[in-house]
Structure formats: structure tokens, C-alpha cells
A and B are shown apart, each in its own frame.
Chain A
Amino acid sequence: MIVRMRSAIVALCALWLSASAAWAQAPRELRWGGDAEGGAPFVEADPNDPARVVGFDVEVAGAIAQGLGRVPRFIQVGFTSLDPAAARGDFDIGLSGIEDSPARRARLAVTIPYYEFRELLTVRDTDRDRFRTLADLRGRRVATLGATLAYDLLVAAQAEHGVIPVTYEDDVHPYSDLALGRVDAVLLDYVLAERGVRRNTGLVNQPADMGKGYYVGILSADQAALRDRIDEILREAMRDGRLEAIFRRWDMWNEDQPRLYARILSGRATELVPAAGAPVPDTWEAARRYLPALLRAAVITLVLSCVAMALAIAIGILIASGRIYGSRPLQVVLTGYVEVIRGTPLLLQLFVLYFGLAAVVQLPAFVAALIGLGLNYAAYESEIYRSALRAVPQGQLDAARTLGLTNRQTLTLVRGPQALRLALAPMTNDFVALLKDSSLVSVITVVELTKQTQIFAANIGSWVVPGALCAAIYLAMSLPLARLARRIEQRWHPA
């Protein structure tokens, strides 16, 4: 026994030694972060081998890794999380069609630009002559990706021309929603615009140049030395035509790029930073500027939560009544509904309702959010009401029956009101939960409190102040509610 154990330990040690030797000999990795959801031509899963990623950013990462003598390893990070992930050092460099901006330069180590893009306005073919520029889109919904140069342009156009910016989390749905008529235009860079027009029939890109920007790589601020080495590798790739070859392969080469490369190689790269004249506002100044937008978003959260809760209560009561008083088939159907809703993520339900059903019924985003939250919470409410109804003593029901009350009268006059008192505390809990779950509707373009905070944080490059402000506003909404519920409960259940 002891002999066998000793030999096992020896074997384990040998294994560990050989593994660590292999690890020491392996070339170092270049961990690079990107969002494969962004898709081609940036980064996407290889259709032939979904475990691999392909795209021009994959090849740029490969060229950088080669120059550093490292092996590239892709790390999936959601697009809107790339900045904080870079700051935390989750990867060595982020490459995913990331735009140069003063805020990024203030918080991160940013490489020289490796690609120049123009912002394009995409509209439906039928609106080609009506909507040529942002000035033609007063009172219209214009879609873009949050925390981008295009978003900043739209916010400026909101003040100047009265357009309504609609932010998406990804760059595919703005174009499909434009084709469906949910928005009237999309403002994004030309790479995305070209792809959007290719994938959706009936869309057209307007020729007017809406502004230009640059793709850069981002590193955490303390990696300036690595950034400088990478800058040198990029310059070399510009000189020897490797970058040109990459962009030609992805059909992205155009006359803007040689001009960009010439400017960079002649040492004038720093002049390229867009809006270099506008200083990055300090955090408190930014907080003061964003507070009205946060409060407006809080109103959206509150209205959305209140109306969705009213819907959930109404439907929940119907489901609970149906499950107690209904026929057997009705009970089976309602039980199935409750189990399906409770057993699947709310996020999935929102996607299906807004994007999945778009071919059948095109719900406005706010309505889809209301219905999604309402139907989801109705399942939970119905369980509360069902157990509350069952908790009303049988004697109360017997008394109602001997007096000649019908089932319906008993429910509305005796059983329901008593059950409501039992249900009040769990209902309040659910409402507070709903208030917070309402943040999920940002995936279907509704800008509520959390989404507005995310935009705020992305623009100033820090979560500390936006996060604290956001938390304070949520608490200001939920705490009085909990107090109110306690008071009602005390009045209804005197000790």
C-alpha cells in the first residue's frame, strides 16, 4: 500500500516537472481582447471552425504578436466592456474596431491609428432623397452603437437638429431595425454601414461624409513601453505593405489609408486625435453634466417598472384564478406558461419578443420592454397570488358558500381581498426586483438608468462616480417603496 502510494507521488512529481518545463519553453502569449459578436470583418468565429476567430483585427493581432515574438491568444470581451477590461489588464491589447478618442487617450495607453474610417448615414432606399444628412432627420430616430464617435455625433445632432439617438449594444440590429422601419437612419462607420447594406435589402448609404475616425489598439495605462513597441511594429507593417495586404484581403483598402500611413510615418500622428481641442472633462464636471440625463433615465426606469408591475399584477391575478378555478386543460396551459417563463432567462424572452418576433409583429422598443417585463413578472406574481389564495382559511369559503355567494363573488369579495393582504409583502419584494431587472431592457435599445450610467461611464472611462450615482438613484426609488409597504402591512395586520 505504502509502496504504491510512494510510486504514485513520484509519478505525479515527474508529470509536474515535465509540464512546467514545457510551460517554460513555450513562447509567451499575446493575449488580445475583442468582441466576436461584432462579427466580420473585425472579429468573428470562423464558419468552418467556430473555435477559431477570423477577421482583419485577428490578422493585425497576428502581425503584432509576430513582431513581439509571441503567440496570439484571443480573449472574448463584450464590446462595451473593452475599455475597463483593458484598464484592469484582462488582456495585453484590445483590438476590435476600437475608435480613437480623447477619453480613451486620457485613461489608457492607445496605439497609433492603423485604419481610418468615415461615418456614414444609412437610410431606407425610399428615403434616399428625403434624409441626406442629420439635419433632415429632425424628430426621427437614428440608431447607432453606444459609446462610439457616431454616438457623440448623434448627441451633438440631438441638440442641433433634434434627432433622437437610439443606442444598440451590437452593430447588426441597427440595420435590421432600419429595414423594419423601427428607426429612420443609422449612423455608423463605413465598414459597418457597408456590411449593413449588404445584409439587408432596401438600404442605401448616403455619400455625405459625416465625420472620420481611426481604429486603434488599447492597453492599460501602465503598459506604455509595450504600446511603444507595438507602435513601432505597426509602423513597420505600414512601410512593408503587410497592413495593406491585410486590408486588401478583407476588401477594406481605400485611398484614405495610404494618406493616413504617410501622415503617421512622417511623424504627424498626434494631430489625428479627433476633437483634440476639447479637453476631457474632469469626473465631477462630467457627473454634473450627466446628472439630468441620469434623472431622465431614472424616470424611464420608474415608469417602465410601474406599468410593467401593473400588467404583471393584472395577468398574475388572472393566471392564479385560472389555476385555482379553471378547467383542467386551462390549469395545464397556465402551469406550462408559468414554468416556461420561470425556467428561461428574462434576457432571452426580451430578445425573442423584440427581435425574434419582428418578422410577425414590430413592437416599439418601450412597448416590447413593458410586455416582456410584465409577462415575465406575471408568472412570479401568479405564484404569489395562488399560494395567498390557498392560504385563506377554508372556513371563510364555507361561510361564503352557505350565504349563497357564487365562486366569483367569493373570490372578489372575500378570498381575493384577504389573499391580497398576504401577498403584499412578497409583491413589494418583487417590485423592487423588477425595478432592478428593468435594466435588462437596454438590450432592446431602451435607455434606462443602468444603460445611461453605462454610457456615462464609457464616455468618462471610469465606473466609480457613475456607479455610485446610479446606485444612489436606485436606492432613492426602492427604499421609500419598502417603507410604504411596511406601513400598509402594519395597518392591515395589527399586532
Chain B
Amino acid sequence: MNALDVRGLQIRRGGRLLVEGLSFTAARGELLAIMGASGTGKTSVLRAIAGLDPVAAGVVQVDGRVGIVFQFHHLFANMTALENVWLAPVHVLKQPRADAERRGRELLDMLGVGGRADARPHELSGGESQRVAIARALAMDPPVLLMDEPTASLDQARRDELAATLRALAAQGRTVVVATHDAEFARAYATRTLRLDTMDARR
């Protein structure tokens, strides 16, 4: 069974047809790159999958919860890195606070930002923020993880680290969908690439 199944997705923005008739699937353990120039609707597709924006037509089926890492991370400004990570497990999954906090520390350690657990978002670098945001999404143990332009704020070394992390997540059986215009990154690491502009051209 596919972890993610999108059929006939149509998205409108202010009366303009942005995405039309988009269908694709992603299997468990797949690392799918959604490519396309700016303005082709990559971010809109991710937001539609995450259920953040209404769609004009189409069906999105997900086998469980969707985690999302935004391009600008959107860490909760009033909390430390660690609090960002355990907030949802405690309040949504009703996990005991101590367990959620321990698991949060493990995730931050795993992503190499364990030392920044007590830092506030404004004290973190772009790369650190991104890893805290990944930890926050993973804390909810989603089978599907969406990432919007993850390489935008990273240098080459950090990009390789990120790629290794995403591969490890895919190896755990998670489906990772990355919206990016970074062709090199997509070519090197994605198991499959979906081009929005060519789909647009095909239509």
C-alpha cells in the first residue's frame, strides 16, 4: 500500500489555476523530490497534502499523520528548542511529559543539536533551526514527512548532512517528500523526481 496517494489535485490561488490534475503516489521508504521553478506550486502542493489549505478538486490520501518542515521552520518563538519538540506529543498524543522530554532530547541528539536544547529559536542558526524543526515533526512519528526547500539556507557540507539524515529516515520506512528547486540535490539523493513544470507543459 502507498503511504501517500494524490489523485486529480487541483489548486487555485486568487482565481488563478496553479496546479491541475496532479496525480502521484509515494511508497514507504521512498524519497520523492517535487521539482519546479518558483511559482509552479511546489509549496502549495505540500500545504494541500498537509491539509493546511483547501483544494479546488482532488483527493489526498495519507496512511497516518503528515509531518512538515517549513522553509522558514516556524519554530514556536515563545519556547526553547526542546519545548518545541515535546509540545505536541504531550498535548496531542497525551504522552507523559517526562517521556516526551526524554524522546525529544534523543531526537535532538540524533540530529546533532542536543547541545541547543535550551536555546530559544532566535538564538539558533538556520541549519540548527531546521534540525530542531525536523525533530519537532519526527516527535509525532509521522509515516510521511514533507520538507519545503530544505537546502535553501544550507552550505554544501550541511546539505550532505541533511541528505544523509533524510536517507536514514527513508531507510526507517518513512516516506519523505521534498519540494526543491535544487536540481543537484534532487538528482543526487531522491529515489524519484516529480517535475511540476513539465507536468504543466504536458497538459
- Which residues from chain A sit less than 8 Å from chain B, CB to CB? 393, 395-396, 398-405, 409, 413-414, 417-418, 421, 494
Whether a CB of chain A sits under 8 angstroms from the CB of B24 is no
Whether a CB of chain A sits under 8 angstroms from the CB of B125 is no
CB<8 Å pairs between A and B, sample of 18: A395-B74, A396-B74, A396-B76, A399-B70, A399-B74, A399-B75, A400-B76, A401-B52, A402-B50, A402-B51, A402-B67, A402-B137, A403-B87, A404-B65, A405-B87, A417-B78, A418-B76, A418-B77
Whether a CB of chain A sits under 8 angstroms from the CB of B163 is no
Tell me if A405 and B92 are in contact (CB < 8 A): yes
Residue on B with the closest CB to A401? B52
Whether a CB of chain A sits under 8 angstroms from the CB of B162 is no
In the complex, chain B residues whose CB is within 8 Å of the CB of A399? 70, 74-76, 136
Dominant secondary structure at the B interface: loop
In the complex, chain A residues whose CB is within 8 Å of the CB of B16? none
For the complex with contacts A393-B74, A396-B76, 18 further pairs of A-B residues with Cβ separation under 8 Å are A398-B47, A399-B75, A401-B51, A402-B50, A403-B88, A403-B92, A403-B137, A403-B140, A404-B65, A404-B88, A404-B140, A405-B87, A405-B88, A409-B91, A413-B91, A414-B76, A418-B76, A418-B78
In the complex, chain B residues whose CB is within 8 Å of the CB of A398? 47, 52, 70, 74
Residue on B with the closest CB to A414? B76
On chain B, the number of residues with a Cβ less than 8 Å from chain A's Cβ atoms is 23
Whether a CB of chain A sits under 8 angstroms from the CB of B35 is no
Kindly provide the distance from the CB of A284 to the nearest chain B CB, expressed in whole angstroms.
53
Tell me if B78 and A414 are in contact (CB < 8 A): yes
Whether a CB of chain A sits under 8 angstroms from the CB of B68 is yes
Tell me if B92 and A404 are in contact (CB < 8 A): yes
Q: How far is the CA of A288 from the CA of B142 in the complex (A)?
A: 73
Kindly provide the distance from the CB of B36 to the nearest chain A CB, expressed in whole angstroms.
21
Residue on A with the closest CB to B91? A409
Chain B stretch 74-99: residues in CB contact (< 8 A) with chain A: 74-78, 87-88, 91-92
In the complex, chain A residues whose CB is within 8 Å of the CB of B136? 399, 403
Chain B stretch 47-82: residues in CB contact (< 8 A) with chain A: 47, 50-52, 65-68, 70, 72, 74-78
Q: How far is the CA of A400 from the CA of B136 in the complex (A)?
A: 11
In the complex, chain A residues whose CB is within 8 Å of the CB of B91? 405, 409, 413
Q: How far is the CA of A396 from the CA of B136 in the complex (A)?
A: 13
Kindly provide the distance from the CB of A130 to the nearest chain B CB, expressed in whole angstroms.
61
Report which residue of A395, A403, A418, A494 has the largest number of chain B beta carbons within 10 angstroms of its beta carbon.
A403
Q: How far is the CA of A421 from the CA of B78 in the complex (A)?
A: 9
Kindly provide the distance from the CB of A38 to the nearest chain B CB, expressed in whole angstroms.
58
In the complex, chain B residues whose CB is within 8 Å of the CB of A418? 76-78
Residue on A with the closest CB to B77? A418
